[in-house]
Structure 1
Amino acid sequence: MGSSGIHIVCVALGVLGLIAGIVCCALPRWKVSSFTGQNIVTAQVTYDGLWMACVAQSTGQQQCKRHDSLLELATDLQAARAMTIISCFLCSLSILILFAGSDFTTCVQNEDVKPKITLVAGIMMILAGLLLMIPVSWSAHNVIQNFHNPLGQPKKELGACIFLGWAGGVIMLLGGGLLCCFSRINSGSSGGTAKYYSNNASAPNSNYV
């Protein structure tokens, strides 16, 4: 697969990771109420998110309430707000930079600069993936720790956003890693090509003299 194909794959990975980050940030599915024991009939299930908390009734009705204050959130969810937003911003910016420096576009005419631009895009995508995985891992750790704590109430379980955040973070890391690897390869090959032409250009002059 050529450089253009790799760049297209990385753009697709970046878009998938960005969608996962946006959904993870928007949906209130970070923490779900847990019911342990036997013969327990649940009348309602609560969902906690970064922006709101929802209660789903057994009849199918669901009510959501926005968090009135940032301080009423747990520490991990407070940090998750900032990290997920920054992650989505970095991923969006890295995709735009990748479009500018990729081989299937003509935004940048200088072929020697394109590998450097794609390297910057790859580093930004890796940072976006890390910023998405850190808050979901932190939140998952707190949920698991509280679940196994006999004094910890109420019991919570991992929500769908936790798993979606892990998947989105891995996708961003994969796309950024591919960009960094192939940009270095392209940079080395372009440097060798320039040296080859330079030697060929100097050879006729020496023969002529």
Structure 2
Amino acid sequence: MACCVLQIAGLILGGAGMVGTLAATAMPQWRVSAYVEGNIVVFESIWEGLWMDCISQLGLRLQCKFYDSLLALPPPLEALRALMCLAAALAVPAFLLAITGVKYSQRRTEGPGAVSTFVLAAGMAFLLTGTLVLVPVSWAGGSVIRDFYDPEVPAPLKRELGAALYVGWASGALLLAAGAMYCLCWCWAGPAAGHSYPRLARAARPGAPALAVHAYV
């Protein structure tokens, strides 16, 4: 019962983390303009994302433009793109594995070994996805904070943390929590599912030698 609750909770958290990962990858608000010192133009906001930059005027008009050339992008941005795309690509199969694990948990009598395999695979995939999300998001956030407090960076070029970074941090935490729940569930049910059933079946066999029964212990 406890393992079933963990799987359902992990499925919900993992699904939310998957949606957040896809959203953070697509959102343009990774870096937003900072209003410091002489930069007091408050009716216009600049957003910089992985794929485009946007200009928001009074929150009513939004103009976005995709980056012109892939080869002209700075290497850090290309690395952030690659990591987030990899995380988004892994989040979907991780969620599908989690659904499969919950589905087969309702059929323990048909194949407990398969249940533990799906649960473990989903947990490891969630943990890996959460790590892949947190690395680029934390990297981008650290770069924004460093430039913000760097006196050599001009005020118009200073940026603040955008909404996409907070979504990425939250999604990474949800994915890690989901992975921990699935791995914990496998630790509880996986080894027992793989070994206790043969031992009980052999022990219950009429006329089975005592030495053969102890060999499974």
Residue 68 to residue 107, structure 1, CA distance change in 2 (3 Å): farther
**Could you report, residue by residue, the CA deviation over 1:87-120 in whole angstroms, capped at 9, with x for unpaired residues?**
1221110121222233445599421221122101
Give the aligned residue type for 2:45: V
Q: CA deviation at 1:15?
A: 0.8
Q: Residue 128 of structure 1 corresponds to which residue in structure 2?
A: 129
Contact 1:30 1:49 in 2 (8 A): yes
Tell me the distance in 2 between the aligned counterparts of 1:157 and 1:189.
50
**Does the alignment pair 1:173 with 2:176?**
yes
Identity percentage of aligned residues: 29
For structure 2, the residue ranges without an aligned partner over 5 or more in a row are 211-217
Residue 198 of structure 1: aligned partner: 202
2:190 is equivalent to residue 187 of structure 1: yes
Residue segments in structure 1 that go unaligned for 5+ positions in a row: none
Moved more, 51-60 or 124-133: 51-60
Report the CA distance shift for 1:189/1:157 in structure 2 as closer, same or farther (over 3 A): same
When the two structures are superposed, what TM-score results if normalisation uses the length of structure 2? Answer: 0.85
Q: How far is 1:156 from its partner? A: 0.5
Q: Do 1:94 and 1:121's aligned partners in 2 also have CA atoms closer than 8 Å?
A: yes
Q: Secondary structure at the match of 1:62?
A: strand
Q: For residues 151 and 39 of structure 1, what CA distance do their matches in structure 2 show?
A: 15
Alignment-derived partner of residue 63 in structure 1: 63
Distance (whole Å) between structure 1 residues aligned to residue 39 and residue 150 of structure 2: 22
1:102-117 equivalent positions in 2, closer than 5 A? 102=102, 103-104=104-105, 109-117=110-118
Q: Sort the Cα spacing of 1:107 and 1:83 in 2 relative to 1 into closer, same or farther, 3 A.
A: farther
- Contact 2:18/2:95 (<8 A) preserved: no
The structural deviation recorded for 1:78 is 1.7
Once the two structures are TM-superposed, the CA of residue 74 in structure 1 deviates from its matched residue by: 4.0
- The alignment's C-alpha RMSD in Å is 2.4
Number of equivalenced pairs: 206
Say whether residues 1:78 and 2:81 are aligned partners: no
Matches of 1:7 and 1:33, distance apart in 2: 41
Equivalent position SS for 2:172: helix
- Greater alpha carbon shift after TM alignment, 102-111 vs 44-53: 102-111
How many angstroms does 1:184 deviate by?
1.8
Shift of 1:72: 4.0
Runs of 4+ in 1 over 4 A off after TM superposition: 104-108
Relative to the length of structure 1, the TM-score reads 0.88
In 1, the alpha carbon distance for the partners of 2:56 and 2:121 equals: 44
